[in-house]
Homo-oligomer: A and B are copies of this chain.
Amino acid sequence: MNENHLTFSIKKKVNSARAGILKLKNGIEVKTPVFMPVGTAASVKAVSQNDIEKIGYKIILANTYHIYLRPGLEIIEKFGGVKKFMSWEGALLTDSGGYQAFSLSEFTKYKDHGVEFKSHLDGSSHLFSPEKVLDIQHILGSDIVMPIDDCAPYPADEKRLKDSLKRTHDWLKESKEIWLEKKYNENQALFGIVQGGVNLKLRKESSQFAAELDLPGYALGGLSVGEKNNEFIEAMAVCDEHLPVEKPRYLMGVGSIPEILNAVYNGIDMMDCVLPTRNARNGQVFTSKGKLNLRNEKIKFSDEPIDKECLCMVCKKYSLGYIRHLHKSKELLAYHLSTYHNLYFMFQFMKNLRESIINDTFEDYRKKWIGIFKAY
C-alpha cells in the first residue's frame, strides 16, 4: 500500500496515552493528541484561516454533507479542492457525510447500498453510497477521508447495533476496495470506522474487523451520543485494546475537556468537535478556572480578561465587561473574540496535554483538568 499520504509515529507512550506525530502530504506535521477545529462549510465559524494558522492549528475538519450540498462539487472541483477553495494551507480531514445525511435531513433511509436523503436546503434527493462519498471526498481533496458508516443512536438494542455493525463493516470493506481500485490511496488516507455503541462485545468485533483491513488509521464512531461516562470510557478501552497500536485513532465528534482527557487516556490521538466554536458564539468560554458565561450580569464592570493565564490576543486586549457588552448587543465581534479565545485555549490545552505525556505527568494533568471542568 502506498503510504505517502500519511505516516504516524509515537514519540512517547504512558499506558495507553500516546504523544505522536502525524505526517501528512506537503510536509505538514501534526502533533498528537490533536484537537481539530470544525469548518463545517469550508470556514471555521467566526475566525479566519489566518487566525487558525496563527493559533497553531495544522489540521481542520470539514463536513462533506454541507460542502457537497453548498457550494457543491462543481465549484469545489473548479477550485481544485476545499483547501484551495478556502485558502487553507494546513491539512484537511472530512467525514463521510453519512451522519449529517441522517441527522439533518428528512426522509433519510438506510439501504444496503447507502443512505438516501433529501437536502435540508432545497429538498433535492441524494444517495450517499460507499463509492459516492469517496468520490466526493476525492473531489474535496481531503488528506484524511472517512468511509460511510451507520452510526446507531443511543440507546440502541442489540438488533439495531448488529445491523449497524453489519452495514458499517460491509461498507468499510467495499470502501477499501474502491479506495485502492480508484487509486485514491495515492493521495488520501482512508480511516476505518469502528461502531458497536456501548456493547463491548460488538466494539471488540468491530475493532478487530477494522484492524484486519490494515488501513492508515481508525476512527471511533457512535460515542459521546448520550451514553454514560463509564460506558463511553469502557467502549474506548476495548477499541484501544483491539486496534493496532501503531496506527492513529480518531474519536469522532468529541468533545468536552473531560471527554478529551479520557479519550487520550484510552489511546485516542485525534478529536474534533464544534464545542469550542459553538459555545463561543453562545457566550461560553473556557478558562483555566473552568467555563465562563460571557453574558453574566456579574462581569459587567469587570476590566479583567477572559482568562488571566491566557496569552491570546483577546485576553491581552479586551475586558470581560466589553466582551459581555458585545454579546448582549449581538455584535459580530463578540463571536469572533470568543471563538478566537476558545480555539486558542483548546490549542494550548492540547499542547500542554501532549507535554504532560512526554514528561510523564499526564495523570496529574488529566486529574487537574477533569477537576476544573467536571461540572461541564
A residues with a Cβ closer than 8 A to B are: 41-43, 45-50, 70-71, 75, 78-79, 85-87, 300-301, 303, 313, 317-319, 321-322, 324-326, 328-329, 331-333, 335-337
Looking at the complex, which one of B50, B303, B322 makes contact with A42 (CB distance below 8 Å)? Answer: B322
Cβ–Cβ contact B71 & A325, under 8 A: yes
Cβ–Cβ contact B300 & A45, under 8 A: no
Q: A79-B321, A313-B50 are in contact. Are A329 and B41 (CB under 8 A)?
A: yes
Copies of this chain present in the complex amount to 2
Looking at the complex, which one of B50, B70, B332 makes contact with A328 (CB distance below 8 Å)? Answer: B70
Closest partner residue, chain B, to A301 (CB atom): B78
Taken together as a complex, chains A and B put the C-alpha atoms of A332 and B280 apart, in Å, by: 13
Cβ–Cβ contact B43 & A331, under 8 A: yes
**Set of chain B residues within 8 Å of A78, measured between Cβ atoms:** 301, 303, 321
Cβ–Cβ contact B49 & A317, under 8 A: yes
Taken together as a complex, chains A and B put the C-alpha atoms of A143 and B331 apart, in Å, by: 24
In the assembled complex, the CB of A338 is this many whole angstroms from the nearest CB of chain B, namely 11
In the assembled complex, the CB of A336 is this many whole angstroms from the nearest CB of chain B, namely 7
Closest partner residue, chain B, to A78 (CB atom): B301
Closest partner residue, chain B, to A329 (CB atom): B41
Looking at the complex, which one of B79, B301, B326, B333 makes contact with A319 (CB distance below 8 Å)? Answer: B79
Looking at the complex, which one of B45, B71, B321 makes contact with A85 (CB distance below 8 Å)? Answer: B321
Looking at the complex, which one of B45, B48, B300 makes contact with A337 (CB distance below 8 Å)? Answer: B48
**Set of chain B residues within 8 Å of A321, measured between Cβ atoms:** 71, 75, 78-79, 85
Taken together as a complex, chains A and B put the C-alpha atoms of A183 and B69 apart, in Å, by: 62
**Set of chain B residues within 8 Å of A325, measured between Cβ atoms:** 41-42, 70-71, 75, 85
Cβ–Cβ contact A329 & B70, under 8 A: yes
Taken together as a complex, chains A and B put the C-alpha atoms of A50 and B86 apart, in Å, by: 23
Cβ–Cβ contact B45 & A333, under 8 A: yes
Cβ–Cβ contact A71 & B328, under 8 A: yes
Cβ–Cβ contact A46 & B79, under 8 A: no
Closest partner residue, chain B, to A77 (CB atom): B301
**Interface-centre pick from A42, A319, A336, A337 (highest chain B CB count, 10 A):** A336
Cβ–Cβ contact A41 & B75, under 8 A: no
Q: A43-B326, A43-B331, A325-B70 are in contact. Are A336 and B48 (CB under 8 A)?
A: yes
Cβ–Cβ contact A41 & B331, under 8 A: yes
In the assembled complex, the CB of A321 is this many whole angstroms from the nearest CB of chain B, namely 6
Q: A331-B43, A332-B335 are in contact. Are A71 and B300 (CB under 8 A)?
A: yes
Contacts A42-B325, A71-B300, A87-B322 aside, 17 further interface pairs with beta carbons under 8 A come to A41-B331, A43-B331, A47-B333, A48-B333, A48-B336, A50-B313, A70-B329, A71-B324, A71-B329, A75-B300, A75-B301, A79-B319, A79-B321, A85-B319, A85-B322, A87-B318, A87-B319
**Interface-centre pick from A71, A79, A322, A333 (highest chain B CB count, 10 A):** A333
**Set of chain B residues within 8 Å of A318, measured between Cβ atoms:** 87
**Set of chain B residues within 8 Å of A335, measured between Cβ atoms:** 332
**Set of chain B residues within 8 Å of A326, measured between Cβ atoms:** 43
Closest partner residue, chain B, to A339 (CB atom): B332
Q: A300-B75, A325-B70 are in contact. Are A45 and B317 (CB under 8 A)?
A: no
Taken together as a complex, chains A and B put the C-alpha atoms of A336 and B326 apart, in Å, by: 15
Taken together as a complex, chains A and B put the C-alpha atoms of A318 and B300 apart, in Å, by: 37
Cβ–Cβ contact B332 & A45, under 8 A: yes
**Set of chain B residues within 8 Å of A85, measured between Cβ atoms:** 319, 321-322, 325
